Every structure is written in structure tokens, then in C-alpha cells.
Amino acid sequence: MMIHKTQSDSDVTLALTGRLDSVTQSELTQELEKVFEAKINLLTLDLSALEYLSSAGLRVFLSARKKVTQMGGKMKIVGANEAISEILQITGYADITVMAKRGKR
């Protein structure tokens, strides 16, 4: 998996590429830990290039959201493809986070 980070002030966007599964989730966890060293206003996870997502990845999303909320910020997930949206929906996750569809680059 590849993580591409862009930041402007306290708005951070992480664009994920490849597979987010039980093997690669630790990479994202580590990246997020770094991100949370500073106060975050808006955390955007761009999934438009993510091909695969399993519950291990979902768990990382959930804890990230908790953290952001605690900081008084917001998290949003954008660009998920059909299969991945389906998983996000299965877990009810889609309801609690602001979703924004985004076209592919």
C-alpha cells in the first residue's frame, strides 16, 4: 500500500493506493499516529485509488475518526469505489461520516 499525504494548516489528506488489509493496516496506523501529533481540523481519506479494504482497515478508520472527533475535528472519506463503499455501508460506517463522491483523477 502507498500513502500520499498532503497538508494545508490543520487539514490533512491521506490518499491511499493499493490494498488496505490486515497486513498493510499497520502502515496506515503509523502514518496516522504521525498525523495526530499535531491538532487536526479536517482529516480526509481519499480512497479513489484503493483497491481492497477489509475489516482490519475499517478498524483503523474507526479509531482515526474517534481521535479526530476528540480533537474537535472532522474526518471524511472520499472516492471509494463500489466494492469498498459497499463494505463501508455494511458496517454502517457510511452513515456516520460525511461522504463525498469524487471522480477519478
Partner 1 sequence: MITVEHLSKKFGNFSVLKDINAEIKKGEVISIIGPSGTGKSTFLRCLNLLEQPSGGHIVIDGEDILKKGVNVPKLRQKMGMVFQSFNLYEHLTVMGNVTLGPIKLRGQGKKEAEEKAAELLRMVGLSEKADSYPDELSGGQKQRVAIARCLAMEPEIILFDEPTSALDPTMISEVLAVIRRLAKNGMTMAIVTHEMDFARDVSTRVFYMDEGFIYEEGSPKDIFESPQKEKTRAFIQRLRILKHEIGSQHFDLYKLNADIEAFCAKHTIDKSIVGNILLIAEETLVNMLLPLKKEGQIISLALEYAEKRGEFQMVLGYPGEVYNPMLDEGGDNLALMIVKKKTKNIQHSYSNGINQLLISM
Q: Name 10's Cβ contacts closer than 8 Å, sequence gap at least 6.
A: 38, 39, 40, 41, 42, 73
Rounded CA-CA distance 21/67 in Å is 21
Write the interaction track for partner 1 spanning residues 49-88; mark x where CB under 8 A is met and - where it is not. Answer: ---x-xxx-xx-----------------------x--xx-
Stretch that binds partner 1, among 17-25, 30-38, 68-76, 97-105 (CB under 8 A): 17-25
Of 23, 38, 96, 98, which one interacts with partner 1 (CB under 8 A)?
23
Q: How far is the CB of 26 from partner 1 (least distance, A)?
A: 13
Name the region of 41 (left: φ>0; alpha: ψ -120 to 50; beta: rest).
alpha
Rounded CA-CA distance 63/12 in Å is 16
Q: How far is the CB of 3 from partner 1 (least distance, A)?
A: 18
Of 21, 35, 74, 76, which one interacts with partner 1 (CB under 8 A)?
21
Cell output for 3: 500513502
Q: Which residues bind partner 1 (CB under 8 A)?
A: 21-23, 52, 54-56, 58-59, 83, 86-87, 90-91
